[in-house]
Amino acid sequence: MRKPFLRPLAAAALLPAALLTACGGQDGGNASAGAGGNDGNTIKVGILHSLSGTMAISEVTVKNSESLATDEINARGGLLGKRLQPIVEDGASDWPTFAQKAQKLIRKDRVATVFGGWTSASRKAMLPVFERNKALLWYPVQYEGLESSPYIFYTGATTNQQIVPGLDYLKEKDKKRIYLVGSDYVFPRTANKIIKAYAQANGMQILGEEYTPLGHTEYSTLVNKIGEAKPDAVFNTLNGDSNVAFFKQLRSAGFDAGRLPVMSVSVAEEEVKGIGVQNIAGHPVAWNYYQTTGGRANEAFVRAFQARHRGAVTSDPMEAGYNAVHLWAEAVRRAGTTDVEAVKKAAAGLSLDLPEGRVTIDGATQHVHKTARIGVVQPDGLIKEVWSSREPIRPDPYLRSYPWAAGLSS
Amino acid sequence: MTSLLNQLPIGLSIGAVLLLTALGLTFTFGQMGVVNMAHGEFLMAGAYTAYLLQDWAGAQAVPVALPVAFLVAGALGWVLERTAIRHFYGRPLDTLLLTWGVSLILQQAARDLFGAPNVQVVAPSWLTGRVGLSGATLPHARLFIMALAVACVVGIWAYLGRSRQGRRMRAVMQNRELAAVSGVATGRVDQLTFFIGSGLAGVAGVALTLVGPVGPSIGTYYIVDAFLVVVAGGLGQLRGAVIAALALGMLNSFAEFWTDASLAKVVVFAVVVAFLQVRPQGLFVLRSRALT
């Protein structure tokens, strides 16, 4: 009686792994079609996001905005007289798959650059692939900092442009007893390390620190623990679908934004729709861009995006992905080639007017100067800015200019 | 202390979610021995049924969707059984691969139809409140899920025990050959069993929209725990599934209260593995005179 049903179960557990190994391993390295995807009349670029699995909810939209940017460049006559040819791959919310697909894009497709990744786990998996191949990755999502690879450009915020301003805001609002909730992987754990150092230096108190696996959907115990700790605010670094379950269950347990504000750093306009606005209205979020951000560049971006995707919203990571493509293209234009080293050199100090405002690449860290903005979720599902740093903040991925952060980067 | 007491109803409600997602599997996996990896996608079909019905039923979509989702997911299951699974009876590994593939296809179909981002199912206002009992609070949504789980169990119990069809189903489950020679059309019983099992997943999917996300990947979040309940409870055993779901819900609730969510998962799996070492057949065993 035992074997017939246990054996298939064991096979079920092994199946995903087997499938992945079967799909990987084909790194090719054959075709030698000119350096850096610069082949005949087209320049190939890779777009690598999770189009399936738990992260697809967020990453598909970034893929869409990056495709919009490559199409815009093609519509304006292309790059160096050639058309951009995006090659889209699915990272499938699985970190080894990201590494394999990155390898495939670089070696087999010979792309000039890759735009991709969302979770830090996926970036960490891809990093050695890009460094080994001396290829270029543009990573469009806010992350936990403490990294500066010579082969990655980071167009999302690092901690001093998002998390630190988020904490400044809470402190300003006199929310000093904080509960930390996050998904169980590298971004939330590192972010919380930084938050704890900040709290210690600023007289704030951390009442609890909880992690749940990615894709976790059962939050009643956690909500109960939060209820017992009675914090002034929650700092939320959950990622993906878990946010939906967390906010729904928090709301149905009677906690609304007035009673317990939850500051989120991975919930943008797109996620608000899935969470349900009645569950999250009034809660603060920390980003660098909102659909409602003013300026002509953003109006054009929102209009162009909604012309393709009716009823869609635009969010910070989408904008950062869109920016990445335009920043790379401008660097290629200035360098006159897609050669990685030349592009890197041309990108240093490069400055463009993009939807979030003026964006400048910091050559030393390969991050960008960004304005920090705290927003509050509105009943219509959009996010309204309630606080901003006014001017772009210099990226400081290792928090070297913050005395309280000494010792974090080691 | 009150928060510790709170964990009791929370454990019950986790158990109810587990039970609801596993009930359909006690039919398809427990009784027919089909390892249906696409069971989670029938949950998903139920959840999307509630989403689609919002256009028509508005805020009352959740209760309205319960019977509709039963039929939709049941029909999906029936089609799957007729077109594919019936050719693979007695070949568990092939069935596993087959249904795994079907689950990927259904997920992608949902992604193409409804988009990758989660969609919103608005809970009716009478499900958004909460009740307090001696310090512990319980959201109405959770109470609704518990009541639904109880209703489903009672319904199934009555069906299996009291109805002609249900008795045929049990006969086929206990001894297929004997049932066949006694004049039971086993093929038709299989169809019906699969229809009901899949339909129950649809019902569970509707209930889950109250507490969790509604998106293409939700099936993957619940499928492992659902199998866990059926295996721990003993194949084809309704009371086994009920007790296993409640026990695992309680275990999960208190393990997470004292440790954290990741560790609680480890504890639950470890306990189930240890338990299966002692009782490989699960909590309850089907007694039959078949020489298996």
Per CB-CB distance under 8 Å, the chain B contacts of A252 are: 123, 128, 130, 139-142, 210-211
Q: What is the pLDDT of residue A292?
A: 95
Q: What is the pTM of this model?
A: 0.85
Q: What is the pLDDT of residue A16?
A: 45
Confidence tier at B280 by pLDDT (50, 70, 90): confident
Q: CB distance from A269 to chain B under 8 Å?
A: no
Residue B245 phi, psi (nearest 5) = -65, -45
Confidence tier at B286 by pLDDT (50, 70, 90): low
- Output the six-digit token pair for B109: 């179909």
ipTM above 0.90, yes or no: no
pLDDT digits (tens, 9 = 90+) for B120-138: 899 898 988 888 766 677 8
Distance between CA atoms of A49 and A122, rounded to whole angstroms?
9
Task: Identify the structural domains of chain A with CATH numbers, from first to last.
Answer: 160-291+371-405 (3.40.50.2300)
Nearest to A218 among B14, B137, B141 (CB): B14
Q: What is the pLDDT of residue B33?
A: 80
Q: What is the pLDDT of residue B93?
A: 87
pLDDT digits (tens, 9 = 90+) for B178-237: 889 998 898 899 899 999 999 999 999 999 999 999 999 899 999 999 999 988 988 777
Per CB-CB distance under 8 Å, the chain A contacts of B122 are: 276, 278
**Among A residues 37-56, those touching chain B with beta carbons less than 8 Å apart:** 51-54, 56
Q: CB distance from B49 to chain A under 8 Å?
A: no
Nearest-neighbour CA in chain B from A201: distance (Å): 27
Q: What is the mean pLDDT of chain B?
A: 89
Name the residue of chain B whose CA is nearest to A215's CA: B221
Which of B256, B263, B275, B292 to mutate to test binding with chain A, by most A CBs within 10 Å of its CB? B256
Q: What is the DSSP letter of A311?
A: T
Instruction: Give residue A139's identity as a one-letter amino acid code.
Output: Y
Mean pLDDT by 10 residues, chain A (410 residues): 42 44 39 51 95 81 96 95 96 94 96 94 95 97 92 96 95 95 91 94 95 91 92 93 93 92 92 91 96 94 95 94 97 96 96 95 96 96 94 94 82
- Output the six-digit token pair for A362: 């910091």
The yes-or-no verdict on residue B288 having pLDDT over 60 is no
Closest CA to A370 of A287, A293, A300, A265: A287
- Bridge partners of A262? A234
Instruction: Give residue A175's identity as a one-letter amino acid code.
Output: K
Q: Which helix (H) or strand (E) holds A122?
A: helix A120-133
Distance between CA atoms of A243 and A182, rounded to whole angstroms?
10
Residue A63 phi, psi (nearest 5) = -55, -45
Q: CB distance from B218 to chain A under 8 Å?
A: yes
Tell me if B92 and A249 make a contact (CB, 8 A cut-off). Answer: no
**Among B residues 99-158, those touching chain A with beta carbons less than 8 Å apart:** 100, 107-108, 111, 115-123, 128, 130, 137, 139-142
Confidence tier at B287 by pLDDT (50, 70, 90): low
pLDDT digits (tens, 9 = 90+) for B75-115: 999 999 999 988 988 788 899 999 999 999 999 899 889 98
Torsion sign (Cα): B140, B145, B148, B150:
negative
Distance between CA atoms of B74 and A58, rounded to whole angstroms?
31
Distance between CA atoms of A280 and A270, rounded to whole angstroms?
13
Contact A49, A91 (CB under 8 A): yes
Which of B34, B105, B118 to mutate to test binding with chain A, by most A CBs within 10 Å of its CB? B118
